[in-house]
Structure 1
């Protein structure tokens, strides 16, 4: 549903605007309390804010860890899907989260893919048809103090290879 809506609206609006707005109005993302505050034109950089509010405050007054995780969970996958395009499959495969200190104030995270990373991903997928790629993400306060560190593993494959691989498993 989101993909079809995105494709239709992309005729009238920039991809970065759609990425930000559609994420922010999506019920699944809204419940995380996260909000995309910036998306670069090429979608290589996305920034989110997780405000401390009554909706995500836990028993001791800090941001609930599940909210920190949920607000970061879908970004890399959908960001990479939009960057790579329709000829690729991207799935979240695994995430580890290590909480460093309680978030008693608004939290922030920056999701970034450099040109070098994108070249590396495309080269490896071209050579091997699929790969796992791990990104490190820090959830911080506005000054960069780390609340949590995540390492997120994404599965990336060509769509043709992925379809062939799935048909063999049936």
Structure 2
């Protein structure tokens, strides 16, 4: 699927659409993604700030999806764990910017080359437009080379990993 098509579909997905979560940008190579959570009357909590569940939801699937698309069909990629640290009240629209570098993708490929599971943590801050951190979200990914690809995979080395 093209990144631009994915962005449009995610913006129509009911959990995002009805909670004012919008994917603003997805890089064509799946290395970067930007998302915004608009503060609206229907998604505020009791004290009129961003609802914590929406702060987590706006970040939930994206590390996994970026990794899946960059690694390709030979890998299982799943969310394993997640955590959120609420730093300040979100009294306005908030943003998250995900970047999955080529070197990190190489590290995941090398770590999974022998068929063992790989667990890696990824962090993203949720910020206001001015850069104030509202929350820090951590997601742990499970990555594993699929059995059919293990038999075909030659041993790889990574110049940046040594």
Q: Would the TM-score normalized by the shorter structure come out above 0.5? A: yes
In the superposition, the TM-score normalised over structure 1's length comes to: 0.82
- C-alpha displacement of 1:93: 0.6
- Given candidates 33, 37, 45, the residue that maps to 1:46 is 33
- Within the alignment, does 1:144 sit opposite 2:149 as a pair? no
- Counterpart CA distance in 1 for 2:73 and 2:103 is 21
**1:131 equivalent in structure 2:** 118
**SS across alignment from 1:102:** coil
Structure number with the higher helix fraction is 1
Kindly indicate whether the alpha-carbon contact (under 8 Å) linking 1:44 and 1:112 is maintained by their aligned counterparts in 2.
yes
**1:117 equivalent in structure 2:** 104
**SS across alignment from 1:63:** coil
Residue-pair matches, total? 149
**1:92 equivalent in structure 2:** 79
Q: Deviations over 1:60-104 (max 9, x none)?
A: 111101111111111111221122111111111111100000000
Kindly indicate whether the alpha-carbon contact (under 8 Å) linking 2:3 and 2:30 is maintained by their aligned counterparts in 1.
yes
- Given candidates 139, 145, 153, the residue that maps to 1:158 is 145
- Counterpart CA distance in 2 for 1:118 and 1:155 is 13
Unaligned ranges ≥5, structure 2: 149-162
CA root-mean-square deviation: 1.7
Residues 31 and 129 of structure 1: CA distance in aligned 2, closer, same or farther (over 3 Å): farther
- C-alpha displacement of 1:159: 2.1
- Given candidates 75, 94, 104, the residue that maps to 2:91 is 104
- Counterpart CA distance in 1 for 2:64 and 2:147 is 19
In the superposition, the TM-score normalised over structure 2's length comes to: 0.86
